[in-house]
């Protein structure tokens, strides 16, 4: 049996990077998927790719700052597959500025996407899981949810908050068969990270490699596999946990 065999699974933030890698990996592990993001063209292309390989998958526009779109994605999974077993709340956005120069609009946007978006998604998913007898949720924080760094203040605040939301929900729904965990990826080779690095000096890339005792950044699939395990029935006694997936950057 595969890790996510038959599980009705929602991935939010699946149009590229870690979320797209998760869609491919979860499908290969037997999940029945609904994938969401704002870039409809990208998620529909991914849907078609995976359908072409025989997987059960649908795609729907989701903007985590718009509650009705989140509710619609959860409902789509229940309509298609009868229930929602698993959800990966992976949408995220980033910016770079000295702390004292961040404008308020950027702060609000980063908190909206990275923190409130996770809150809205969890509310909708938990309501469905309560109605359907349980499930598992994984949120995406960051090593920036565990330690500070330069230029990322609102992102760091939001990602710390994602760990807080995870703990609160794990505590509150532990007896309703709902597990809630959070992964904290380190620097990972996605559009978000590489896009930022494209404007950065070469020494900075070397610095990021050096953060990890493994002296390299992560691959999107290496993050997705951790999320899959936490969502699976191999992790039935794991809830409220923060799992760094960072090549030892924070823990070693
Ligand atoms: P990415 O390539 O930029 O992908 C981000 C994903 O989030 C995209 O699918 C994007 O889709 C989606 N998204 C952004 N805003 C959204 C919104 N308002 N509503 C719905 N979806 C939205 O970044 P990534 O590196 O794969 O990041 C995935 C997650 O990992 C994020 O939470 C990020 O903070 C976290 N993370 C990344 C790294 C890293 O080094 N890459 C490290 C630590 C943590 P659309 O634009 O199509 O909406």
Cα-to-centroid distance, 192 and ligand 1 (Å): 7
User: 84 and 125 in contact (C-beta within 8 Å)?
Assistant: yes
Based on the structure, what is the number of domains in the chain?
Answer: 1
Domain presence at residue 134 = yes
Query: Which residues does residue 161 pair with via DSSP β-bridges, in sequence order?
Result: none
Segments forming the whole domain that contains residue 211: 8-245
List 81, 107, 150, 155, catalytic entry: 155
**Per-position DSSP letters for 147-216, written without gaps between them:** S--TT-HHHHHHHHHHHHHHHHHHHHHGGGTEEEEEEEE-SBSSHHHHHHHTTS-HHHHHHHHHHSTTSS
Domain presence at residue 125 = yes
Query: Structure tokens of 86?
Result: 């698993």
What are the backbone dihedrals phi and psi of residue 163, each rounded to the nearest 5 degrees, phi first? -65, -40
Domain presence at residue 3 = no
Number of Cα atoms under 13 Å in the Cβ half of residue 245? 26
The CATH number that applies at residue 184 is: 3.40.50.720
What does the pLDDT read at residue 204?
72
Q: Identify which of 10, 14, 17, 221 to mutate to test ligand 1's pocket (most ligand atoms within 8 A of the CB).
A: 17
Residues with CB under 6 A from ligand 1: 12-19, 37-39, 42, 62-65, 90-93, 113, 140, 142, 185, 187-188, 190-193
Q: Name the pTM for this structure.
A: 0.97
Cα-to-centroid distance, 128 and ligand 1 (Å): 24
What does the pLDDT read at residue 193?
85
Tell which residue, 129, 147, 78, 128, has the closest CA to residue 239.
129
User: 226 and 182 in contact (C-beta within 8 Å)?
Assistant: no
The dihedral built from the CA positions of residue 53, 59, 63 and 68, taken in this order, carries a sign that is negative
What does the pLDDT read at residue 210?
78
Cα-to-centroid distance, 252 and ligand 1 (Å): 26
Q: Examine the residue annotation and report whether 107 is marked as an active-site residue of this protein.
A: no
What does the pLDDT read at residue 81?
98
Domain presence at residue 115 = yes
Domain presence at residue 252 = no
Enumerate residues 6+ apart whose C-beta is below 8 A from 8: 31, 32, 34, 77, 78, 80, 81, 82, 83, 84, 85, 86
Domain presence at residue 152 = yes
| Ordered mean pLDDT values, 10 residues apiece, the chain (252 residues) | 96 98 98 98 98 98 98 98 98 95 98 98 98 98 96 97 99 98 96 79 74 93 98 98 97 89
Domain presence at residue 26 = yes
What does the pLDDT read at residue 50?
98
Domain presence at residue 127 = yes
Length of the chain: 252
């Amino acid at each position: 049996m595969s890790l996510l065999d038959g599980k009705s699974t929602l991935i939010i933030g699946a149009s590229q990077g870690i979320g797209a890698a998760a869609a491919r990996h979860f499908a290969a592990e037997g999940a029945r998927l609904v994938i969401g993001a704002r870039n409809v063209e990208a998620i529909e292309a991914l849907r078609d790719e995976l359908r072409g390989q025989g997987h059960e998958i649908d795609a729907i526009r989701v903007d985590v700052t718009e509650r009705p779109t989140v509710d619609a994605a959860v409902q789509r999974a229940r309509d298609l597959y009868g229930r929602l077993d698993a959800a990966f709340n992976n949408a995220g956005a980033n910016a770079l500025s000295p702390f004292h120069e961040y404008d308020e609009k950027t702060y609000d946007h980063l908190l909206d996407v990275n923190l409130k978006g996770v809150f809205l998604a969890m509310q909708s998913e938990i309501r469905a899981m309560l109605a359907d007898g349980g499930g598992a949720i994984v949120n995406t924080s960051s090593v920036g949810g565990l330690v500070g760094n330069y230029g990322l203040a609102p992102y760091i605040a939001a990602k710390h908050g994602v760990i807080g939301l995870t703990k609160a929900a794990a505590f509150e729904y532990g007896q309703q068969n709902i597990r809630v965990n959070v992964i904290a990826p380190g620097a990972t080779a996605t559009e978000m990270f590489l896009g930022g690095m494209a404007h950065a000096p070469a020494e900075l890339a070397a610095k990021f490699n050096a953060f990890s005792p493994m002296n390299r950044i992560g691959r999107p699939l290496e993050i997705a596999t951790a999320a899959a395990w936490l969502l699976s029935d191999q992790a039935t006694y794991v809830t409220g946990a923060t799992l760094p997936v960072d090549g030892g950057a924070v823990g070693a």
